[in-house]
Amino acid sequence: MIKMQKLKHKTGIQIDLISSQKMDELTTMEKIRMILDGVRSDKIVILETGLSPDEESKLIEVTMSEINPDGFTGIEIETHLPSTPSGSAFINKLMGRRTPSKLTVIGPANRIETLHKDEKLITTFISQS
Amino acid sequence: MMGLLKQLRDSISRATDKLFSGSKPKRIGIYGPPNAGKTTLANRIARDWTGDIVGTESKVPHETRRARRKENIEIERDGKIVTIDIVDTPGVTTKIDYREFLDFGMSKKDAIRRSREATEGVAEAMHWLREDIDGVIYVLDSTQDPFTQVNTMLIGIIESRKLPVLIFANKIDLKKSDPTLIEQSFPQHKTVPLSALEGENMDEVYDKIADYFG
């Protein structure tokens, strides 16, 4: 309780880093809910392994349904997919290894802005409300 | 007289081809970010082959807020007819702020209504992609950086659904256009440069549509 009060007086940005283990325990809708609840509370959510294409598609759809004037304006999302040497994807599949994790950063659209993005570097600017 | 006979023979052959082909026209979704020129392209294709148009074009983002279908577009390539339905979809994004529309001289009320319709349109576009599309034409503005999260995500979603996809690098009539940047960003897919507005390189556009979706 004391800790909560102390935090209230601090200005800053809360970042939630969600492990791949935590993500594996959740259903698609639970993942989307966790992300959007976090972002709507002005947090930056970082996913260690990201979402599947189908989950990304549903995230866009649910985000759209929650946008409202003078309130939530949507999300900014950036994903970093590590480059893999050619042929390694096939070898990973053969060895039963998971697809490479794609580090994903999600935040409120009005707080987070991508300044630069290429295959090796993503530069993001996070503003305080 | 010979011309009339040839026209009659061609239309009978087209009708029998259609009757016995046994397959429905493929539904080709025109996808991409807002203001890439999707409706301009849909109108160009529809006008070239049916004389009709699909929707209203505008410089204001999110002019298309409902998916619109134009059915039975017959594209003739090398004496063969390829019949497709095109679905012009709203531009996909992860954020919409009504205040952006105020810069285009809209009233607050109109801007709020437009943003509400736009959010519904994006959700509808995603739904079409998951359920009802057989192939995708992904339209990008070749004057803009293509390496954005929305583009990467959408191309990933399309690939995961194993849909055939063609990337169209639009607006090559503009000075800042750089279609090679699009090619380099998505080397796994065929990129076709074009100007839907000016009708540049449309022969290659139709060749590739027939190849990929015929």
Q: What's the pTM value of the predicted model, to 2 decimals?
A: 0.85
Contact B153 A53 (CB under 8 A): yes
Four-CA torsion B201, B207, B208, B213, nearest 10 degrees = 140
List chain A residues with CB under 8 Å of B130: 54, 57
pLDDT in tens, A38-71: 999 999 999 999 999 999 999 999 999 999 988 8
The structural domain count of chain B equals 1
Taking CB atoms and an 8 Å cut-off, how many pairs form between chains A and B?
Answer: 75
Judged against a pLDDT cut of 50, whether residue A118 lies above it is answered with yes
> What residue numbers bound the domain in which A81 lies?
2-126
Please, what's the largest Cα pairwise distance for chain A?
Answer: 54
The encoded tokens of residue A122 equal: 């993503």
Centre a 10 Å sphere on the Cβ of residue A13 and count the other Cβ atoms it contains. 14
How high is the pLDDT of residue B57?
Answer: 86
Residue B7 lies in a domain: no
| CATH number for B190 | 3.40.50.300
How high is the pLDDT of residue A69?
Answer: 86
How high is the pLDDT of residue A4?
Answer: 47
Judged against a pLDDT cut of 50, whether residue B211 lies above it is answered with yes
Higher-scoring residue by pLDDT: A69, A128: A69
Name which of A3-7, A15-19, A121-125, B19-23 the model is least confident about.
A3-7
3-class SS shares of chain B: helix, strand, coil, % to 5:
45, 20, 35
pLDDT in tens, B86-133: 999 999 999 999 999 999 999 999 999 999 999 999 999 999 998 889
> What residue numbers bound the domain in which B53 lies?
24-213
> Where residue A116 falls among pLDDT bands split at 50, 70, 90?
confident
List chain B residues with CB under 8 Å of A78: 149
Q: Which of B66, B92, B95 to mutate to probe the A interface, most A CBs <10 Å? A: B95
User: Among the ranges A6-10, A123-127, B81-85, B136-140, which has the highest mean pLDDT value?
Assistant: B136-140
How high is the pLDDT of residue B64?
Answer: 86
Contact B149 A114 (CB under 8 A): yes
Rounded-to-integer distance, Cα B170 and Cα B160, Å: 24
Judged against a pLDDT cut of 50, whether residue A1 lies above it is answered with no
Q: Which of B99, B100, B153 to mutate to probe the A interface, most A CBs <10 Å? A: B153
pLDDT in tens, B56-85: 888 888 888 888 899 999 999 988 899 999
Q: B21: distance to nearest CA of chain A, Å?
A: 33
List chain B residues with CB under 8 Å of A76: 94-95, 149
Residue B14 lies in a domain: no
Rounded-to-integer distance, Cα A73 and Cα A89, Å: 37
How high is the pLDDT of residue B6?
Answer: 61
Contact A57 B120 (CB under 8 A): no
Complex ipTM: 0.83
Residue of B209, B65, B186 lying closest to B137 (CA atoms): B209
Chain A residues with CB-CB distance to B under 8 A?
52-54, 56-58, 60-61, 63-65, 67, 69, 73-79, 109-110, 114, 117-118
Cα B71 versus chain centre, distance: 13
Q: Do B123 and A65 touch, CB atoms closer than 8 A? A: yes
How high is the pLDDT of residue A8?
Answer: 60
How high is the pLDDT of residue B133?
Answer: 94
Q: How far is CA B44 from CA B22, B39, B125, B179, B202, in A?
A: 28, 8, 21, 20, 9
